[in-house]
Structure 1
């Protein structure tokens, strides 16, 4: 499986009472992991939903592999901060549930089972396949939500603050898992986060979306993994990002 090439051109999204995105030009190569930072209300989640085809832009265009996005695609998966697991289904059946979404290809029972098994193995939840969601910790629930996406074998993975509600230790574990999964599957990944440190630890590139709904800055994180030992270089970049974020917020005020 190879990742998708994603591009937006002049992407603009307006609501009757406000403008959310304004002429966003963006591109990412197959297999890249790009983090999107920005203040609350900058349009980060709206950008993700527009790329996913859930929201139609007011103007401009989203393309996946040079094909215009006109709606949800089978090869693009979106996950949120809430795992959204169905409480009456086991972990295994929650993961399989993603294969029944609209526009998913028809699979035989054997193929569905194989995909679910591989996805659970990818997130180290094989031992919990028969558990109910109520038996899972917060981190395990997010693993199950990620497995539900992976079972679809997406070429693009869109994540909207998936680790925001987790404690620091569990969050660090999930960040490491995300990097491993992206490298192993090759899925192009867009991660919306409020956490600068998280972006620095996992992303190949970091984009800063300003309050005006445009990309105001960008950084390439050319630090080898694992990145935790490279505190000094990451710390310098963190200061740059924090200053850019503060400047963006002050200009909007």
Structure 2
């Protein structure tokens, strides 16, 4: 299956030229799609996995970015931080192309196997154009039945030594983040953001700050606060979130700590549907 077929036969090879990965460390890189990040764990010429899978019909671009780093070597697995449409959209097509398993937390399984749908986006939370449009966003994720398996309950991640997953529910019931103790690398998913996720301007003019989860899709704010406190307690040296550019350094640490301590004032919208 070639890239054109992966992207439904409508794009030429040069349309993917911009789809290149950005290296964070020797064995962690990411590709910034128009709405969310996909992350690659593994050094070139070594085994690797993909974390999250962007929007539907983005599989050709994601494949191109991965091949820029790993050639035609497929990942050992795809790990999903949660089931929202902007993180699972291309998972099915990529898993079928690579013939690899997909893993997600057991509390997300019903959402990615057609048994449940997420609540609709809440345009009343404010913050920008993406919030206003969120009521139109898909709430039924890509159907992954037959391809997806629940992660083990002990925090281990199949095919990924040295990493563990951290339960960071709130944005969704089974949201996870990934953490590596060795270099204190945190892959946060949507438990936090490093750009203002409600704003369309932030997509095109990203400014690095630590924000809460995307407000328009966050289901349980008490759980979301606990998740941020849990991530702050990890004291990460690097953060790559689902939305925004990677961050590291003292400013990042201070902002994450401040968010954890002042979550109600900083992250929870003053006006929201629920």
Greater radius of gyration (CA): 1
Q: Which has the higher strand share?
A: 1
TM-score, normalization: structure 1? 0.35
Normalised to the residue count of structure 2, the TM-score between the two structures is: 0.33
Greater relative contact order (CA < 8 Å, ≥ 6 in sequence): 1
